Amino acid sequence: MSSRVPFKPQQVDAPLTQSATFLVLSITDTADAIRTVRSTLASVGDLSKNVSIRDLSASFACTIGIGSDAWDRVTRLPRPAELHPFPEVKGNKHTAVSTPGDLLFHIRSERRDLCFEFEKQLLDTLGDSVKVVDETVGFRYFDVRDLLGFVDGTANPVGPGVPTSVLVAEEDTPVIGGSYIVIQKYVHDINSWRTLKAEQQESIIGRTKFDNMELDDAPLQQQQSHKSLATISDSNGNEHEILRDNMPFGSPGSGEFGTYFIGYSRRLWVIEKMLQRMFVGEPPGLHDRLLDFSTPLTGTTFFAPSASLLETLDDD
């Protein structure tokens, strides 16, 4: 990162918490909608302080993403170089659907009540300028496992590797310090998954279930595991990481079991290539077998501008 370009990033690398709310909104056609949205985004730091001050140990954070269709209207600033709507990815058997969304609020805290209170105050402030597209409440499950029983997020970058993998740098100076975000809401066929033996599940995931040990990659041109298909390298052999903050969600009473995928990346093409490999297959035709048990209901792309940029949105 260049020290000559002053910016303050959003808390895209906030620690994984016990609770999270994923709130996707669309902007309405009311007369003052854009003005209200701009004012709210510019002052969201104050709104966050109003909630987080109630328990400073609760690791409260909120990251804001702006969708491709809303970027020009909301920011009136140059577009991030790679920002475009989420492209549908259609394989022979499974499809990564594309769904609408103008604004994303990724709300996190160790306390569910703080997430609730922030969302309530946020929606009160936005009023009729927005409409809720999707609201999903996630929770940490045991030792950071998904509802399929495997540890999730092991491949995340750590330490100095986080900003390098997540934050846009000098390659796109107008939006330096920002991050691309892709979200997908997956529901799992738990009953079918449970019919598999542990060894079969491990072969699909690419890790052992009990102790999370990585399994060897399959030979080229053969069926690859989810772990292998989600590992992305460029033409020079350099591996590119993304930051996942996935959370389980669901309701046993209604038979809903799912994982909310959210990936932050410095380069949008990395996540899009990952999805191509999963849904189309690598080689083509050999899709990610996890998709036989997990179906995406949503797919939306956002860009999280720096906090410094957000603060300028209310300037006349």
| Active-site annotation, residues | 152
Quote the CA–CA distance of 226 and 243 in Å, as a whole number.
Answer: 16
Encoded amino acid at 82, one letter? E
**Six-digit token string for 196:** 């598999």
DSSP track, 1-60: --TTS-----STTPPP-SEEEEEEEEE---TTHHHHHHHHHHTHHHHHHHHHTT-GGG--
Quote the CA–CA distance of 150 and 143 in Å, as a whole number.
Answer: 9
Residue found by looking up tokens 């079991």 in the block:
257
CB 12 within 8 A of CB 304: yes
**DSSP 8-state symbol, 164:** H
Identify which of 182, 196, 86 has the alpha carbon closest to the alpha carbon of residue 149.
196
Is residue 143 helix, strand or coil? coil
**Six-digit token string for 5:** 């370009």
CA Rg, the chain, in Å?
Answer: 19
**DSSP 8-state symbol, 252:** G
Quote the CA–CA distance of 71 and 64 in Å, as a whole number.
Answer: 12
Q: Helix/strand/coil (H, E, C) string of 173-232?
A: HHHCCCEEEEEEEEEECHHHHHCCCHHHHHHHHCECCCCCCECCCCCCCCCCCHHHHCCE
